[in-house]
């Protein structure tokens, strides 16, 4: 059994230890402000941070009690080298500096209901690239779209920040089964778009967008159509 000991000790040391500098911090029974406070840790005491969930931190006291502390109170502590504990909460500034974002959206495309999701990567505050998967559910056919686009956001500091987008992709049209059997077809597309991104709270944002598509068909005429969508997303 003794050989197990170092392993256990090591595991214990694997958490960040902090010392309370506020008069006291409050431990809730769960990660939410509605859960009751059932313990307080006084100034000078050391606790271990076990994990984070949204803006709540699970801490473990030396006497073996576990509880959840909110980020504002966690900032009133210091680390082992005496520095105040720095924690990132997500604000509008972090939104400007985001690297990744994900969102899903609903909308309308040629009278059909549209839904989909996208993931984006930001090169800097102004320029990002995105890949999106959409499905348009019409009365006579379903359309599947995959698009890759570049997006420029000239005023990232604005809460209501407009953006412009340019991209291309493919569209697959699948006629409904209840209609006379016609063939599925796949064409390539290009689009331009304009939209508005709104920072909501924490890691959430909203985004509305209009896109105009051109479909390069094998027939004589190229088709064109419009797409409207609004979505809810998060970033990190």
Partner 1 sequence: MENRTRFLFLSTATLLGSLLLLPCEAAEPLGDNLREELLIEPEIARREIEEPEIESEDFEVGVYAGLMTIEDFGTSAVYGARLAYHGTESIFLEAAIGTSEANETSFELLGGDVQLLTDDDRKLTYYNLSAGYNILPGEVFLGGKYAYNSQFYLIAGIGSTRFAGDDEFTVNLGAGYRLLISDWLTLHLDARDHMFESDLLGETKTTHNFELHGGLTFFF
Residues near partner 1 (CB under 8 A): 14-16, 29-35, 49-58, 79-81, 87, 102, 104, 106, 112-113, 115, 117, 135, 137, 142, 174, 176-178, 201-204, 232, 234
DSSP string across 23-49: SEEEEESSSSTTSPEEEEEETT-EEEE
Select 71 or 126, whichever has its Cβ closest to partner 1: 71
Q: How far apart are CA 129 and CA 148, in angstroms?
A: 7
Strand partners, 100: 121
Contact partners, residue 10, CB within 8 Å, separation at least 6: none
The CB-of-152 to partner 1 minimum distance in angstroms stands at 26
Cβ closest to partner 1, residue 104 vs residue 210:
104
CA 132 to chain CA centroid, Å, is 14
Smallest gap from Cβ 38 to partner 1, in A, equals 10
How far apart are CB 220 and partner 1 at their closest, in Å? 29
Tell me how far, at minimum, the Cβ of 75 lies from partner 1, in Å.
Answer: 13
CB of 115 or CB of 214, closer to partner 1: 115
Between 46 and 102, CB nearer to partner 1 = 102
Q: Which residues contact 124 (CB under 8 A, 6 or more apart)?
A: none
User: How far apart are CB 175 and partner 1 at their closest, in Å?
Assistant: 10
Coil, strand or helix at 122: strand
With a CB cutoff of 8 Å and minimum separation 6, the contacts of 146 are: 131, 132, 133, 169, 170
Q: Which is nearer to partner 1, 52 or 96 (CB)?
A: 52
């Amino acid at each position: 059994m003794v050989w197990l000991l170092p392993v256990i000790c090591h595991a214990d040391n694997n958490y960040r230890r902090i010392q309370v500098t506020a008069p006291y911090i409050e431990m809730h029974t769960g990660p939410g402000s509605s859960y009751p406070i059932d313990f307080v840790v006084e100034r000078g005491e050391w606790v271990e941070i076990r994990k984070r969930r949204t803006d709540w931190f699970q801490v473990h006291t030396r006497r073996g009690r576990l509880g959840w502390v909110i980020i504002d109170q966690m900032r009133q502590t210091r680390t082992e080298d005496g520095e105040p504990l720095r924690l990132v909460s997500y604000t509008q500034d972090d939104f400007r500096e985001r690297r990744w974002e994900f969102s899903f959206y609903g909308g309308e495309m040629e009278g059909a209901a549209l839904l989909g999701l996208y993931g984006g990567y930001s090169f800097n505050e102004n320029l990002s690239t995105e890949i999106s998967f959409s499905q348009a559910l019409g009365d006579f056919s379903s359309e599947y779209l995959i698009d890759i686009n570049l997006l420029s956001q000239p005023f990232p500091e604005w809460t209501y920040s407009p953006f412009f987008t340019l991209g291309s992709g493919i569209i697959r049209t699948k006629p409904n089964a209840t209609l006379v059997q016609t063939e599925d077809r796949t064409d390539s597309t290009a689009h331009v778009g304009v939209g508005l991104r709104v920072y909501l709270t924490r890691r959430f944002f909203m985004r509305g967008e209009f896109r105009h598509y051109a479909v390069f068909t094998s027939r004589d005429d190229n088709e064109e159509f419009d797409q409207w969508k609004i979505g809810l997303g998060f970033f990190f």
